[in-house]
Amino acid sequence: MKVAKFGGTSVASAEQIKKVAAIVAEDKERKIIVVSAPGKRSSDDTKVTDLLIGLGEAFLNKGEAEEELQAVVSRYDDIAKGLGLGQDIIATIEADLRERLEFDRNKPESFMDSIKASGEDNNAKLIASYFQSIGLQATYLNPKDAGLLVSDEPGNAQVLPEAFENLAKLRDTKEIIVFPGFFGYSKEGTLVTFPRGGSDITGSIVAAGTNADLYENFTDVDSVFAANPNVVENPVKIKRMTYREMRELSYAGFSVFHDEALIPAFRNSIPVCVKNTNNPSSSGTMIIAEREYFMNPVIGIAADEGFATIYVRKYLMNREVGFGRKLLQILEDECLSYEHMPSGIDDTSVILRQNQLTPEIEERIVTRIREELAVDDVYVEKDFAMVMIVGEGMHNTLGVSARATAALARAKVNIEMINQGSSEVSLVLGIHSEDADGAVRELYQEFFGSAGDTVQ
């Protein structure tokens, strides 16, 4: 049994949904179909989720938003007409939206969760209706009825263990189940959305819960590439990669998956295949627990911007018991998480996401570190990028770091920080954001310059 998830571009229009139906009909093992909200039909289009955010915010601010509501309904109406569906489904969708607008506005986070989730929920209803109209035995299933239980954290839901037991009942379904992505329900019955990449998270959870033989993630590219195609021209395709490699690359900015999306599949050893809705015959990229290794120790290179560094210097820091704990306690008091913490004997740097730092938080942190830890110097630098070189084969290969630093020297990129995880699956290089694209291109040339069009 396969679980197949279709992203926003795959369900953005009637034409795309017809492709989805053909893919589902072609393989009887595709039993559970997880769908996103309609995405962009072209580069200058607006995806339905953004229309819904505008609807929710307008209603919160003004108490009415008829124009914004009709913009959402119009998108679904265009799709329904293109699929030859009657007005019943559009009436259902409009009624659902109006009901959601009646939700308690004194809980704005939960209100917005409900409005945003309607994109996936109503698209699932529409797609199930279309499947039925062309003779497929299909049914829409709401996550609440499926038992997809999550924590009550608006916009940041975490799946609860009971959800997997509930979803296991779906494995032997005779019908095709169309399942909306992006949200689940708390034990109290409140709708709660997942963080970004939420439909991918849903697909992974459903695949794990049903112990699927394969989780297929359909998107608008033939495979995962070894580097961002917007930065590197015609990068090689990755044929096979491991869960750990995909998670590392996702963390560093790969747009195929949110870095947490595959964790449920990973924990249950469910193989994942990334495929193209517009070219389903392509083999795609298989993401598996273990893979064979060939000549190239590196599988991919990615860069993510938006980091800041808190630099701390104190003579004899290495001899002061508890210094690191006290430093991190100050960050914890401000509810900040950190990404890396490279250290020397008299200095240390804490690297964190820049968007966590407001001017007020930054001032408080610097003041507390200076006064409470009696340091010689402390300051914050911003606008850093983390370039990540990833590959399971790196730990058995000499000279990867030397090749990487030599490549960046050729590109005249100054390295501010080097950090290699204990698993040696990735090598992280901290550089200034303005150098990120050039660094990725030079590193790609170093590790993939003589490769063909595919890397194992």
SS (H, E, C) 431-455: EEHHHHHHHHHHHHHHHHCCCCCEE
- H or E element at residue 184: strand 183-185
**Which residues define the annotated binding site for substrate?**
49, 120
Residue with tokens 């830890």: 373
For residue 317, give Cα distances in angstroms to 314, 346, 373: 5, 5, 10
For residue 392, the one-letter residue type is E
The structure tokens listed for 167 are 């979803």
For residue 299, give Cα distances in angstroms to 130, 195, 245, 392, 456: 40, 27, 8, 8, 8
Evaluate whether 384 touches 340 at the Cβ level (below 8 Å). no
Nearest to 299 by CA among 256, 386, 241, 258: 241
**Which residues define the annotated binding site?**
5-8, 49, 120, 219-220
Evaluate whether 200 touches 120 at the Cβ level (below 8 Å). no
Provide the 8-state DSSP code for 141: -
Alpha-carbon distance of 177 to 425, in angstroms, equals: 37
**Which residues define the annotated binding site for ATP?**
5-8, 219-220
Alpha-carbon distance of 366 to 361, in angstroms, equals: 9
3-state secondary structure of 216: strand
323: CB partners within 8 A, 6+ apart: 314, 317, 373
Nearest to 253 by CA among 193, 301, 325, 194: 301
Evaluate whether 253 touches 302 at the Cβ level (below 8 Å). yes
Helices (H), 221-319: 243-251, 263-267
